[in-house]
């Protein structure tokens, strides 16, 4: 089994200082996709430690965004923003082609969607354009029949079950119908599969992000905005999907929790 985890680290330097490596040792993922790395290229490998093959898309604005894929298996190729202006130099998209022990190659994407702002048409248009570009790129990747694992912090709660206070967030960025429409299209029209929701079809959550403010974490008042989305053939090979929620507020090393899935590939 191949274990893939995705997590918004909220700054890789801070995450490693707060205990990310303890989680890595316990969970033993083969591939980790990271968002909000917020570190220069030369530091990422040092912060992750030995034994990882790493590709990283750094944001052109220092201290912002940044996405990476770290793999214990060989990475045969990678691509970031060169194919799309919505991704270029923004630190929000990186693809890695990874070779499994069965000598099969699949593509893992680490993505970090814009937060958006319902009061700013410019910011919302940028976010929706990013989702347009993501949809086009996902279709291109899947066209040759490869397995694709689309992971990351997508900053959208798809359904009411994906955030605790959904009534209070009606009309807010992250819970807008025009954002959710992309997810409807992916799942209902294009056949992509939300692995965690497929594993927990009738429950609220499991949430993957909680504000540091107030008692959001203690009350489990979270959002499910971190995803592993795969092609339907790969979904049949997925198991043991979970969110590695920290046992307590003071043991968190990010405001997000890792989303972990095993795949028989």
Domains of the chain in sequence order: 2-263 (3.60.10.10)
The SS3 of residue 150 is strand
Rounded Cα distance between 19 and 254, Å, is 9
- Examine the residue annotation and report whether 153 is marked as an active-site residue of this protein: yes
The SS3 of residue 262 is strand
**DSSP code string of 62-126:** TTS--EEEEESSPEEEEE-STT-TTTTTTT-EEEEEEE-TTS-EEEEEEEE-----TT-HHHHHH
The tens place of each residue's pLDDT in the chain, 265 residues long, gives 999 999 999 999 999 999 999 999 999 999 999 999 999 988 999 999 999 999 999 988 888 899 999 999 999 999 997 777 678 788 999 999 999 877 778 999 999 999 999 999 999 999 999 999 999 999 999 998 999 999 999 999 999 999 999 999 999 999 999 999 999 999 999 999 999 999 999 999 999 999 999 899 999 999 999 999 999 999 999 999 999 999 999 999 999 999 999 999 8
Bond before 206 cis per omega within 30 degrees: yes
Which of 30, 97, 153, 255 does the annotation list as catalytic? 153
Task: List the 53-57 sheet strands across, edge first.
Answer: 53-57, 67-71, 31-35, 2-8, 259-263, 238-243
251 pairs with which residues across the strands?
A: none
């Amino acid at each position: 089994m191949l274990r893939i985890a995705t997590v918004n680290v909220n700054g890789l330097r801070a995450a490693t200082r707060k205990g990310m490596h303890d989680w890595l040792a316990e969970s033993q993922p083969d591939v980790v996709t990271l968002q909000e790395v917020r570190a220069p290229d030369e530091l990422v490998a040092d912060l992750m430690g030995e034994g990882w093959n790493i590709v990283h898309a750094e944001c052109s604005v220092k201290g912002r965004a940044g996405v990476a894929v770290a793999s214990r298996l060989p990475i045969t190729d990678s691509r970031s923003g060169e194919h799309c202006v919505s991704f270029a130099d923004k630190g929000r998209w990186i693809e890695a082609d990874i070779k499994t022990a069965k000598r099969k190659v699949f593509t893992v994407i680490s993505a970090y969607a814009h937060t958006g702002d319902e009061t700013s048409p410019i910011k919302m248009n940028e976010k929706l354009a990013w989702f347009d570009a993501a949809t086009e790129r996902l279709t291109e990747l899947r066209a040759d029949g490869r397995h694709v694992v689309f992971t990351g912090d997508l900053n959208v709660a798809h359904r009411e079950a994906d955030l605790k206070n959904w009534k209070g967030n009606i009309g807010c960025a992250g819970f807008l119908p025009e954002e959710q429409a992309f997810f409807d299209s992916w799942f209902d029209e294009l056949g992509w599969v939300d692995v965690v929701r497929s594993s927990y079809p009738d429950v609220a959550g499991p949430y993957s992000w909680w504000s540091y403010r107030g008692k959001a974490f203690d009350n489990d008042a979270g959002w499910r905005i971190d995803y592993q989305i795969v092609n339907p053939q790969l979904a049949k090979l997925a198991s043991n999907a979970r969110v590695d929620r920290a046992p307590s507020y003071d043991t968190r090393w990010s405001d997000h929790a890792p989303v972990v899935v095993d795949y028989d590939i």
